[in-house]
Structure 1
């Protein structure tokens, strides 16, 4: 990978150029990939194609009241760029600012092409290049690149999931899905019902209760809630003792280990975690509150992702009388609200359907090789970020039980390492190959969340043995990366040459 005279003069790549890498998405995954790839391969020619009008990804899309990180911002932030604000649970607007500032600091922003919606990606085996077809500013454009990195996340940006609610057309108020929150919505002194019990719902309840007349969270069944301080003493202590980068590494490591240990204990001693979480609810809510009705899930901790409530804000809103939780099921909507199967009625001016996401792989782009469509759902995943027998293509997906960035960074570094190895040996393509080995299949995501159950078929397959086993274990993956065999189950080759199985 060489530097062209145009690059030496500071010109960034255009559509007409043959690129080394096209990165799709300018959120956490895409920005992190741009940094890691060029850190290890400084002469890399790349563009970042972002379908939205600005940096942020998830943190630009979601604009509902109170939107925030659902894990520690110190593990959600990048290892190479310290999070300098005091809070450990960050608001969405500050996360967007952090991503934009990071992209600007490292010159990544000049490589981003906004309003660029990737529609198809086709591999040409005669040239070992991908052709990326993009809707850009109302026109169809094409990019050619040796590698494609999908930093598009795992859900459909165009529409969330809303069940069929009987009679919803009769409701006389406003119905909103949090994925498309109206900027001009005024909920002051309104009766609001939030349907759902996931991370979005438990964020909306306390956030909207400051202005609304009453906010009620309607749930079919409870979710585990874990309270953590928004401002922790550990970051302040580390920052007082250590330089900026060293303190960030210390805080990040501390939080990653804490999250991993908590998950391990939850799996091994679920009864203990249940008691601890219940005690927090009992101590935070009014005497006599029906904790076991509204906050006692039917499943064990971390069978589904836990919801973070900073400083127990949801419990505080309920205790203050500004919010309520109702555990029931919907019979039908009527003109003034929701009729429950218990016979009760919830009056509403605004109903928020915080009912989940729709899974989508590879940003919905159609993938093909020499014009033949590739069905990603029929392929095993290699090291959690490549597809079986698909060359030079990477897809970044975070953990279900820890911060997204923990695995996103491992994925970006592993990709950078592979590109460096290929450049050093003159290879132009590399693809994972399972061969004739019989591999038992298991779900790529091992949580029982509704959006996973509904759409598990949208994801590629996970095997049960490495390097085909998609794990939700950051510590094990981090150790694996340190001792990674880059040629394991990988086919390498050059344009015009016969490929070889490296190991």
Structure 2
């Protein structure tokens, strides 16, 4: 079917939002409240809303950052700071119901192509219904990508020698089977991040024993799953809206201080973090090598461990930690480089995920493929030469949702600015002063270097040395700068829609 025929057969919306996770539902709220005159639609490949919190069903699944900042600014969070997946889904469901967003969300729609027409100033999206196989077409003036940043259908598992020899069961947490039986089983959980730190204490009381096997340790923040300030404000009858805003500001202030200290006095912060772990494991536990990372704090994400449950499991003897490299899998388990063999009935590979750049959707412009790795990012939101599109990519050192709200304000303001000026297209281009700047990878690996980013950096857009051509990960700076962006700045290029000339003219 030709592009013009697709557009003729398509449903049209002013704004099309891709993804019904935490970003997409937030984007829909902003469209409803900030741009009520515009039509919008959310397309989601899964059978329901939730994104990450719908995909992941492994034991103990929970947030790794506090809900006062991970929650939206417009809806108070009233539970414990660290929440279960079900609690987060309930919260999101209330946002959908309270704001009547459901009629604007369509599930089981997989986008298989997206093409921009310079003539029509429209995106045409081709989607397939997951349940019926039907092919559908949608056009939109603006495309708002909220599909997240990793492959939801399959987690990342390295290829180790001998995996086919292993007689037990291998499970990746992202595709956790419903019928797995852990009772009386010896379990190895490979990994050292937030997922491993969640799974291990969740199953420690059910299986015979669980061993956390890590190549290298990571930092954790253990603490009580409560917010004393929130509890004190509730005790004196402060309204939840006020509590949410006050606690949110306090948490963000504390996070800013912590981030600054991690960069300026990393050794002191490192010792503080290790002391938090020692409180649970005791002074004689071998912190090195098991909980003493080789990198400075905040070069990778630091997960909060509520009530220190991971360390409680280790202290009780139900769980243990081994820090070593894997030589190969064996019939009975895993042979380590040290020569020790760990036996297990079940091996859990909490080894991360694969980055998905813009949902791995084939994008094109006037039929020619768009290679995002050859574009330069504008503040991690827009890309040089790609019209009428924005991508929500959140923060690593602060809650993802903070950027959803900031971008909701920015995009709403941008759309209104285009209307006020009769513009049908906006894209970003390098300014004259940017033409000779050095072009670098998406993010500085010395600043932040998790494995999923390092493995796929070649797929990501580039950044420039000029500040506006970077995703800085600095929420505390962006909360002031994004609302003040000059939409008539030289980096923004606007175009009107050309009137079609009659064929007999």
Normalising by the smaller structure, the TM-score range is over 0.9
- Displacement of 1:227: 1.3
Match of 1:277 in 2: 273
In the TM superposition, what whole-angstrom CA distance separates every residue of 1:381-401 from its partner, at most 9, and x where no partner exists? 112211112111011001111
Q: 1:300 aligns with which of 279, 289, 296?
A: 296
Please give the alpha-carbon distance, in whole angstroms, between the structure 2 residues aligned to 1:458 and 1:307: 26
Please give the alpha-carbon distance, in whole angstroms, between the structure 1 residues aligned to 2:62 and 2:202: 11
- The question of whether the paired residues in 2 share the 8 Å contact of 1:223 and 1:307 is answered with no
- Displacement of 1:283: 2.2
In the TM superposition, what whole-angstrom CA distance separates every residue of 1:140-192 from its partner, at most 9, and x where no partner exists? 11001101111011111222211111111111111011111111212122111
Match of 2:202 in 1: 207
Match of 1:440 in 2: 438
Match of 1:100 in 2: 93
Please give the alpha-carbon distance, in whole angstroms, between the structure 2 residues aligned to 1:128 and 1:47: 18
Structure 2 counterpart SS, 1:216: strand
Give ranges in structure 2 of 5+ residues lacking alignment: 1-8, 500-505
Please give the alpha-carbon distance, in whole angstroms, between the structure 1 residues aligned to 2:431 and 2:363: 21
Match of 1:5 in 2: none
Match of 1:45 in 2: 39
Q: 1:89 aligns with which of 74, 82, 107?
A: 82
Match of 1:391 in 2: 387
1:71 maps onto 2:69 in alignment: no
Q: Which structure 2 residues correspond to residues 93-492 of structure 1 after superposition, within 5 A?
A: 93-136=86-129, 137-239=132-234, 240-436=236-432, 437-446=435-444, 447-488=448-489, 489-492=491-494
In the TM superposition, what whole-angstrom CA distance separates every residue of 1:283-338 from its partner, at most 9, and x where no partner exists? 21045211122011111111111122112111111001110110011111111111
TM-score normalised over the length of structure 2: 0.93
Please give the alpha-carbon distance, in whole angstroms, between the structure 2 residues aligned to 1:231 and 1:117: 39
Structure 2 counterpart SS, 1:438: coil
In the TM superposition, what whole-angstrom CA distance separates every residue of 1:357-397 from its partner, at most 9, and x where no partner exists? 11111111111111111111111111221111211101100
Please give the alpha-carbon distance, in whole angstroms, between the structure 1 residues aligned to 2:436 and 2:24: 34
Structure 2 counterpart SS, 1:39: helix
1:495 maps onto 2:497 in alignment: yes
Structure 1 counterpart SS, 2:160: coil
Aligned length: 483
- The question of whether the paired residues in 2 share the 8 Å contact of 1:215 and 1:323 is answered with yes
- The question of whether the paired residues in 2 share the 8 Å contact of 1:52 and 1:114 is answered with yes
Give ranges in structure 1 of 5+ residues lacking alignment: 1-14, 498-503
- Displacement of 1:125: 1.1
- The question of whether the paired residues in 2 share the 8 Å contact of 1:59 and 1:92 is answered with yes
In the TM superposition, what whole-angstrom CA distance separates every residue of 1:209-245 from its partner, at most 9, and x where no partner exists? 0211111110011111111321121111233442221
Please give the alpha-carbon distance, in whole angstroms, between the structure 1 residues aligned to 2:138 and 2:324: 51
44-53 vs 335-344, which deviates more?
335-344
- The question of whether the paired residues in 2 share the 8 Å contact of 1:388 and 1:433 is answered with yes
Please give the alpha-carbon distance, in whole angstroms, between the structure 2 residues aligned to 1:83 and 1:365: 34
Please give the alpha-carbon distance, in whole angstroms, between the structure 2 residues aligned to 1:199 and 1:101: 27
In the TM superposition, what whole-angstrom CA distance separates every residue of 1:253-291 from its partner, at most 9, and x where no partner exists? 111221221111111110111111121222210452111
In the TM superposition, what whole-angstrom CA distance separates every residue of 1:402-438 from its partner, at most 9, and x where no partner exists? 1101112212221111011111222111111115522
Hey, which bits of structure 1, 4+ residues long, moved more than 4 A?
Answer: none
